[in-house]
Amino acid sequence: MVAGGSKRWVDIDTHTTIEAGIAALRDDQFRILVADAGAGAIDYREVDYTERVAIVLGAELEGPSAHSLEQADARIEIPMQGMVESLNVSVAAAVILFEAERQRRAAKLYSQCRINAADYATTLFEWAYPDIARRCREKGLAYPPLADDGQLLENPLRA
């Protein structure tokens, strides 16, 4: 399930099995990291998140699947103190992703756009004007250019 409006900002590929999902990630040259507190897991802060990595988190009570553990390039853990043994999945994901964001920001991966201009313009238009984008696609119309402030320069549906 995708939270509210996040599907506007994130492309989501769904797979019917974990095996199919991991195979697709491998085809796209991702390094597979599986969150697991078992023996041999490394501290999540020791991973280079500036590389192309996919993070697999298991279900809250069962943990990661046997297949994902077998396919892992590395197993990562969030070290815990005291009597608590683990975090819930959403909190664990947030902790790991904040570390990934910290490393990527430090490496200046966000200092300039890394999407080609055409893909950027298409994505921006679809985010800013989802209803008009849908109607343009239905009618086979190209998306119009946007002004620097994101406003429509012309109405593509006026014919």
Instruction: Work out the average pLDDT over 56-78.
Output: 90
Rounded alpha-carbon distances, angstroms, from residue 72 to 35, 45, 61, 82, 119: 9, 17, 20, 28, 31
Domains parsed from the chain with CATH numbers = 4-106 (3.40.1280.10), 114-159 (no CATH)
Count other Cβ atoms within 10 Å, centred on residue 153: 9
Q: What is the pLDDT of residues 93-146, one digit of tens each?
A: 999 999 999 999 999 999 988 889 999 899 889 988 999 999 999 999 999 989
Q: What is the mean pLDDT of the chain?
A: 89
Dist CA 144 CA 136 (whole Å): 10
Count other Cβ atoms within 10 Å, centred on residue 75: 20
